[in-house]
Amino acid sequence: MNFDVVIAGGSVAGLLCAREIARNGNTVLVIEEDYEIGTPEHCGGLVSLSGLEELGVIPFRKTFDHAIESAEITAPNGTSFEINSAKQKVIEISRRELDKQIAFQAQKNGAIIKVRTSFQEITDTGIRTNNEKINCKIFVDARGVSSLIHKDRTGILSSAQYEIYADWIKKGKVEVIFDQEKYPGFFAWIIPSGEGKGKVGVAGKGINVSESLEKILKEKGEYSTIRKIYAPIWIKGPIKKFVEGKTVIIGDAAGQAKPTTAGGIFTSGMGGVYAGQAISEFLKTNNKADLEQYQKKWTARFGKEFEKQLLARKILERVDNNTINKLFESITPEIIKDISEKDDFDFHTSSIIKLLGLKGSIKTAQTLIGGEIKKLLS
């Protein structure tokens, strides 16, 4: 078999990359090791409508679950505040259906998709799968976090997410729970997919995520579990090189998920779009500089925001519960109003700064957290 491009990984980044390559008249094959596009569904499913529009996706009715209206943030001592998120136009989508919708776009443009087909190795003329050898000019690695596990384990956290039915899950209301003893370096979350149903998850360094999640659910009340997903998440930002010879790395495999939340529908999806455009140009010119445009474009768009998110992550990893409780005490109604007025869900470092109360109390924050603050504010 011969293709211009073979993409390993049939998730958002890989499928968007395939769509762009096929749209430009090139032959492209997407191989997915699982038995279904969109399965297993690791993602929380939050994305902004503006982000989806930029990716070229207007969600089908089956894809769009509902709009998120508010987010409740809780400190270790139980103190909480609520942000009105209506202006951010964040929606909860079914990742299973979103991936299928983008797969349909890719196929309509001429891409071929095969499931139950796994990448084995790169060969002199292309790649080898579990079924056959395939010749190609470019190989795209879109296999997700699994591609990073052997490169740097320090950037990986364990996570668990259960889909559940429970009366205490309220449609339109996300919950985020911080506790450095229970979920070191990360947090727990509740993301509704409707009234009385949603996803509850947890991640953290050196914890048994299953036990931690079971404790959260026990404290919350009665529930029924529909699905359990365990998956590694990457929190260390982009890898150094997105292009290595004739291999192009995109999405989670390139570290394009946000370091603060590990969410990456938009940032990873744009990686797929930029890569697809650059590959299409390279196939016309055979000029390596055209291929390199992919990383330049992605970095120009997201690089500074990711640097700030990595600094925010350093702060989160250094603070203890007592410090988090104190910072929550300093959050004023004005700060909450400022964040509620902000309309960019995908670039959220400024909201983190406001949440930490930093602009109003830099001296106090430096005493509590350390020297990274000035960099974060710059």
* Rounded CA separation 176/68 (Å): 13
> Which of residues 354 and 186 earns the better pLDDT score?
186
What is the greatest pairwise CA distance in the chain?
A: 64
Averaged pLDDT score across all residues of the chain: 89
Residue 40 pLDDT greater than 90, yes or no:
no
> Which of residues 268 and 44 earns the better pLDDT score?
268
Note whether 213 and 201 are same-domain residues.
yes
Q: What is the pLDDT of residue 349?
A: 59
The residues, ordered by sequence, that sit 6+ positions from 336 with a Cβ below 8 Å of its Cβ are 81, 82, 83
Note whether 205 and 101 are same-domain residues.
no
Rounded to 5°, the CA angle 274-303-311 comes to 145
Residue 144 pLDDT greater than 70, yes or no:
yes
The model's confidence at residue 366, banded by pLDDT at 50, 70 and 90, is low
Note whether 14 and 123 are same-domain residues.
yes
Q: What is the pLDDT of residue 138?
A: 98
Domain closes at, from 303, 336, 351? 303
Q: How many domains does the chain have?
A: 3
Q: What is the mean pLDDT of residues 7-27?
A: 97
- Structural contact between residues 171 and 65, judged by C-beta atoms closer than 8 angstroms: no
- Structural contact between residues 323 and 370, judged by C-beta atoms closer than 8 angstroms: no
Q: What is the pLDDT of residue 354?
A: 60
> Residue 158, SS3?
strand
* Rounded CA separation 233/222 (Å): 28
Residue 101 is part of a domain; what is its CATH number? 3.50.50.60
The model's confidence at residue 60, banded by pLDDT at 50, 70 and 90, is confident
Domain closes at, from 303, 336, 360? 303
Note whether 321 and 353 are same-domain residues.
yes
> Which of residues 39 and 158 earns the better pLDDT score?
158
Residue 170 is part of a domain; what is its CATH number? 3.30.9.10
Closest CA to 7 of 280, 244, 247, 255: 247
Q: What is the pLDDT of residue 357?
A: 52
Using the 8-state DSSP alphabet, how is residue 34 labeled? S
- Confirm whether 288 is domain-assigned: yes
- Confirm whether 110 is domain-assigned: yes
Q: What is the pLDDT of residue 361?
A: 45
Q: Quick one: what percent of the chain has pLDDT higher than 90?
A: 67
Note whether 240 and 228 are same-domain residues.
no
Give residue 175's region: left, alpha or beta (phi > 0; psi -120 to 50). Answer: beta
pTM score: 0.91
Closest CA to 23 of 115, 111, 103, 134: 111
The model's confidence at residue 129, banded by pLDDT at 50, 70 and 90, is very high
Domain that holds residue 177: 154-234
Q: What is the pLDDT of residue 259?
A: 92
- Confirm whether 23 is domain-assigned: yes
Note whether 275 and 330 are same-domain residues.
no
The model's confidence at residue 133, banded by pLDDT at 50, 70 and 90, is very high
Note whether 169 and 25 are same-domain residues.
no
Helix ranges, the chain (H): 12-23, 49-54, 95-108, 209-220, 265-285, 288-318, 321-329, 333-341, 349-355, 362-369, 372-377
> Residue 297, SS3?
helix
> Which of residues 150 and 230 earns the better pLDDT score?
230
Helix (H) or strand (E) holding 46: strand 46-48
- Confirm whether 81 is domain-assigned: no
Tell me how crowded residue 187 is: count the other CB atoms within 10 A of its CB.
21
Q: What is the pLDDT of residue 112?
A: 98
Note whether 186 and 97 are same-domain residues.
no
Note whether 228 and 271 are same-domain residues.
no
Domain closes at, from 253, 270, 303? 303
The residues, ordered by sequence, that sit 6+ positions from 244 with a Cβ below 8 Å of its Cβ are none
- Confirm whether 75 is domain-assigned: no
Note whether 289 and 319 are same-domain residues.
no
pLDDT in tens, 266-317: 999 999 999 999 999 999 999 999 999 999 999 999 999 999 889 888 888 8
pLDDT in tens, 199-254: 999 999 999 999 999 999 999 999 999 999 999 999 999 999 999 999 999 999 99
- Confirm whether 347 is domain-assigned: yes
Q: Quick one: what percent of the chain has pLDDT higher than 70?
A: 90
Q: What is the pLDDT of residue 364?
A: 47
- Confirm whether 70 is domain-assigned: no
The model's confidence at residue 83, banded by pLDDT at 50, 70 and 90, is confident
| Highest mean pLDDT (candidates 46-50, 104-108, 329-333) | 104-108
- Confirm whether 73 is domain-assigned: no
Tell me how crowded residue 36 is: count the other CB atoms within 10 A of its CB.
13
Note whether 124 and 104 are same-domain residues.
yes
Which amino acid, one-letter code, is at 240? K
- Structural contact between residues 169 and 192, judged by C-beta atoms closer than 8 angstroms: yes
The residues, ordered by sequence, that sit 6+ positions from 23 with a Cβ below 8 Å of its Cβ are 109, 110, 276, 280
Parallel, antiparallel, or unpaired for β 224-234 and 2-8?
unpaired
* Rounded CA separation 149/132 (Å): 26
> Residue 10, SS3?
coil
Q: What is the mean pLDDT of residues 100-125?
A: 97
The residues, ordered by sequence, that sit 6+ positions from 286 with a Cβ below 8 Å of its Cβ are none
Note whether 284 and 146 are same-domain residues.
yes
| Highest mean pLDDT (candidates 3-12, 257-266, 323-332) | 3-12
pLDDT in tens, 65-76: 788 999 999 999
Residue 53 pLDDT greater than 90, yes or no:
yes
